[in-house]
Structure 1
């Protein structure tokens, strides 16, 4: 019985010290984890958010640049209507390829909408060419695109609205 008391007297302080050490280390690790999370948020705020804003600005500019009215005014009509249509579609595609890297900063649903707006714009240009036929001149196609796009909602308008909603929701 005496050995049991001696064993208990030796183990009890050690167990208490181990328990206290565990609680202190656990609290320290939780505080360290919290500190790291705060640090990551700081980095996110100071570096990633400005890059995301820049990406949204670039995508807004892209959507404005591919609006048929502005596009037709910016790109001068050359040779045949078919050639002009091809130049306009290539211009839209070039703008798209120039901005592809922005997708890593843009909300995936918004990116799909931007992609759809690009495709819809290219289809709009093709449809305008079909409406006029092969006999049309580049000047006639340019005027038709401008007239038709004034009367219709630009394919990029919905994507622009989504960009604005995303930005306002993140600020």
Structure 2
């Protein structure tokens, strides 16, 4: 017959270790669950911050695209066609730089931003075509601003839509 007395120290150690192992297991699983929640919260917070920054960047882009701000950008000694070329290039480059922001902005707002950009570029060209090359740069800038003022203020409308959207998101 085998004596169980040789196994008593192992049994005693096992009886004492099991509750500690259960508590340790519970602690590890709770810690992992809390870390996962923290990561989810940080992701949501980060995503909200990205959205807010996207809206801010696009409002800044639209503000810079307003004709009253565009006419101040380049040297007064340029020819009208040079001014148009440089302005269109600057708008396109800034738009391309900000194009990744469409990931965080609604499709409708992005469409309005693209439409505003295209409308400003079209206004540059139609103003130039209306002058038939007879004006200097200062006259062109004045007529360009007046054409914008007399038309629909699509940039301000787009900015206002972006403001409404960010309030809904926040």
Instruction: Using structure 2 for the length normalisation, give the TM-score.
Output: 0.71
Show the 5 A alignment for 1:100-139. 100-139=99-138
Tell me, yes or no, if the aligned pair for 1:110 and 1:159 is still in contact at 8 Å: yes
Distance 2:100 2:77 in 1: 31
3-state SS, counterpart of residue 77 of structure 1: coil
* 1:165 and 2:164 aligned: yes
Tell me the residue number matched to 2:86.
87
Q: How many residues align?
A: 138
Choose 47-56 or 99-108, whichever is displaced more.
99-108
Question: For the structure 1 residues 167 and 86, does the alpha-carbon distance in structure 2 shift closer, same or farther, using more than 3 Å as the test?
Answer: same
Shift of 1:149: 2.4
* 1:141 and 2:145 aligned: no
Q: Which stretches of structure 1, 4 residues or longer, exceed 2 Å deviation after superposition?
A: 35-41, 73-79, 146-155
Unmatched runs of 5 consecutive residues or more in structure 2:
1-33
Choose 83-92 or 48-57, whichever is displaced more.
83-92
Show the 5 A alignment for 1:37-76. 42-76=41-75
Unmatched runs of 5 consecutive residues or more in structure 1:
1-34
Instruction: Using structure 1 for the length normalisation, give the TM-score.
Output: 0.71
Shift of 1:109: 1.5
Shift of 1:78: 3.8
Distance 1:95 1:78 in 2: 23
Question: For the structure 1 residues 105 and 43, does the alpha-carbon distance in structure 2 shift closer, same or farther, using more than 3 Å as the test?
Answer: same
Shift of 1:121: 0.8
